[in-house]
């Protein structure tokens, strides 16, 4: 009888310690939300909800993996660039993408994970990279199309992320966007040269545009109605604009650029809508999008095999660097 009474009492009155813990958590959550509300950046040592941390690790690591895997389709053309000038530009661009990956892995590490864990998760298929890097680069014009469209889409997405709520991610984005704008111009410059060239060069530019246009629109993710994370990420101001808003912005910016080149965007439904003040465009092939996102993209196996081999081949460099750093530390302590 006593036990029953005690149990009943317990169920109605939380233990003082539990209640104190709850109050403390509620205070922390309120403080976190107040910072989000007032546009104060969340910094690594600040309290944050587990789900916010988890979402950031997923998104920033996926972004880092995309930068690193994204070196492959373009790296494929460094030795075959048509002039020394183009070779130098492409080499610098690919090197920049590697740097972007490193800033982003560092930003992810401030959330309490390690680069090793993230890379292992990618290699074991537990993390993703952007769908766009699953497509092959068949001709030199693809390098133009990637710079123009893929970096162009990345800029639209990343300008928005410069205002993301997590400080280290927002700051990495500012620097990355500056570099991406050079990449976009490099690509558009290649397209201008080809579009103004011979009939064959023009045809090559049109063919690349035909193949890269729809995958570039897919970079922005699923429709807002199918986006699992948009609602929470918007509430936490990780995302400042939705997938569809950013995709529309990219289309509106890019159509006049294609007109300037005299090339045709491969979409019969594309037209200016004066009422909306935006271009209408056709429906993305969402079956293709999800197939690629789930690992069924044309180059997925090749991209992952190359990535894993590069990681293994670089093991001795990482080990040598770590040993050197340890020795330096020991020497400094001894001095």
Identify which of residues 181 and 264 has a Cβ nearer to ligand BYC in the complex: 181
Identify which of residues 168 and 222 has a Cβ nearer to ligand BYC in the complex: 222
Q: What is the footprint of ligand BYC within residues 289-318 (CB under 6 A)? A: 293
Query: Which of 193, 210, 227, 264 touches ligand BYC (CB under 6 A)?
Result: 227
Which listed range, 29-37, 80-88, 223-231, 268-276, lies at the site for ligand BYC (CB under 6 A)? 223-231
Identify which of residues 272 and 286 has a Cβ nearer to ligand BYC in the complex: 286
- All residues at 6 or more sequence positions from 111 whose CB lies less than 8 Å from its CB, including other chains: 44, 53, 56, 57, 60
Looking at the chain, the number of H-run helices and the number of E-run strands are: 15, 2
Is 225 an interacting residue with respect to ligand BYC (CB under 6 A)? Answer: no
Q: How far is the CB of 266 from ligand BYC (least distance, A)?
A: 19
Is 221 an interacting residue with respect to ligand BYC (CB under 6 A)? Answer: yes
Position of tokens 């990420």? 233
Which listed range, 113-121, 126-134, 306-314, 320-328, lies at the site for ligand BYC (CB under 6 A)? 126-134
Helix (H, G, I), strand (E, B) or coil at 282: coil
Q: How far is the CB of 1 from ligand BYC (least distance, A)?
A: 52
Q: How far is the CB of 248 from ligand BYC (least distance, A)?
A: 13
What is the full DSSP assignment across 127-178? S---GGGGS---SHHHHHHIIIIIHHHHHHHHHHHTT-SBHHHHHHHHHHHH
Q: What is the footprint of ligand BYC within residues 61-90 (CB under 6 A)? A: 62-63, 66-67, 70
Query: Mask: binding to ligand BYC, 232-271, rule CB under 6 A, as x and -?
Result: -x-----x---x----------------------------
Q: What CA–CA distance (Å, rounded) separates 62 from 56?
A: 10
Are the CB atoms for 311 and 121 separated by under 8 Å?
no
How far, CA to CA in Å, does 182 sit from each of 94, 97, 187?
12, 12, 9
Is 126 an interacting residue with respect to ligand BYC (CB under 6 A)? Answer: no
Identify which of residues 22 and 226 has a Cβ nearer to ligand BYC in the complex: 226
Q: What CA–CA distance (Å, rounded) separates 164 from 172?
A: 11
Q: What CA–CA distance (Å, rounded) separates 222 from 296?
A: 16
Q: What is the footprint of ligand BYC within residues 140-199 (CB under 6 A)? A: 150-151, 154, 157
DSSP 8-state symbol, 42 = B
Residues in contact with ligand BYC, total (CB under 6 A)? 28
Identify which of residues 97 and 142 has a Cβ nearer to ligand BYC in the complex: 97
Is 230 an interacting residue with respect to ligand BYC (CB under 6 A)? Answer: yes
Side-chain half-sphere of 100: how many Cα atoms within 13 Å? Answer: 31
Nearest to 73 by CA among 308, 285, 311, 300: 300
Largest Cα separation within the chain, whole Å, is 95
- Buried residues in 104-114 as b, exposed as e (16+ CB within 10 A): bbebbbbbebe
Identify which of residues 42 and 145 has a Cβ nearer to ligand BYC in the complex: 145
Are the CB atoms for 333 and 326 separated by under 8 Å?
no
Is residue 5 within a helix (H) or strand (E), and if so which, with residue range? Answer: helix 2-12
Which listed range, 79-87, 188-196, 224-232, 298-306, lies at the site for ligand BYC (CB under 6 A)? 224-232
Identify which of residues 108 and 243 has a Cβ nearer to ligand BYC in the complex: 243
Is 219 an interacting residue with respect to ligand BYC (CB under 6 A)? Answer: yes
Is 108 an interacting residue with respect to ligand BYC (CB under 6 A)? Answer: no
- All residues at 6 or more sequence positions from 305 whose CB lies less than 8 Å from its CB, including other chains: none
Which residues are at the interface with ligand BYC (CB under 6 A)? 58-59, 62-63, 66-67, 70, 97, 128, 130-131, 150-151, 154, 157, 218-222, 227-230, 233, 239, 243, 293
């Amino acid at each position: 009888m006593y036990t029953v009474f005690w149990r009943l009492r317990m169920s109605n009155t939380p233990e003082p310690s539990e209640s104190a813990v709850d109050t403390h958590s509620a205070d922390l959550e309120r403080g976190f939300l107040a910072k989000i509300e007032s546009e104060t950046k969340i910094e690594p040592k600040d309290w944050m909800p587990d789900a916010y941390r988890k979402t950031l690790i997923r998104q920033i690591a996926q972004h880092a993996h995309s930068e690193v895997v994204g070196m492959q389709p373009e790296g494929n053309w460094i030795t075959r660039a048509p002039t020394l000038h183009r070779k130098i530009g492409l080499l610098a661009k690919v090197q920049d993408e590697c740097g972007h990956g490193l800033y982003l892995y560092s930003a992810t590490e401030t959330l309490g994970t390690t680069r090793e864990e993230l890379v292992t998760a990618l290699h074991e298929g537990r993390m993703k990279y952007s769908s766009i890097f699953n497509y092959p680069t068949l001709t030199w014009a693809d390098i133009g199309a990637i710079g123009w469209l893929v970096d162009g889409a990345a800029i639209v997405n990343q300008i928005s992320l410069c205002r993301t709520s997590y400080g280290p991610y927002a700051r990495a984005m500012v620097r990355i966007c500056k570099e991406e704008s050079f990449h976009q111009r490099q690509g558009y410059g290649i397209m201008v040269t080809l579009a103004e060239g011979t009939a064959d060069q023009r045809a090559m530019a049109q063919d690349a545009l035909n193949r890269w246009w729809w995958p570039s629109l897919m970079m922005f993710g699923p429709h807002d109605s199918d986006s699992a994370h948009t609602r929470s990420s918007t509430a936490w101001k990780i995302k400042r604009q939705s997938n569809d808003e950013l995709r529309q912005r990219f289309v509106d910016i890019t159509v006049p650029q294609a007109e300037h080149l005299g090339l045709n965007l491969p979409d019969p439904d594309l037209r200016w809508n004066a009422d909306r003040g935006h271009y209408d465009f056709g429906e993305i092939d969402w079956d293709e999008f999800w197939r690629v996102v789930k690992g069924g993209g044309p180059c997925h196996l090749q991209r992952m095999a190359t990535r894993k081999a590069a990681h293994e081949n670089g093991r001795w460099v990482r080990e040598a660097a770590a040993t050197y750093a340890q020795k330096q530390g020991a020497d400094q302590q001894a001095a």
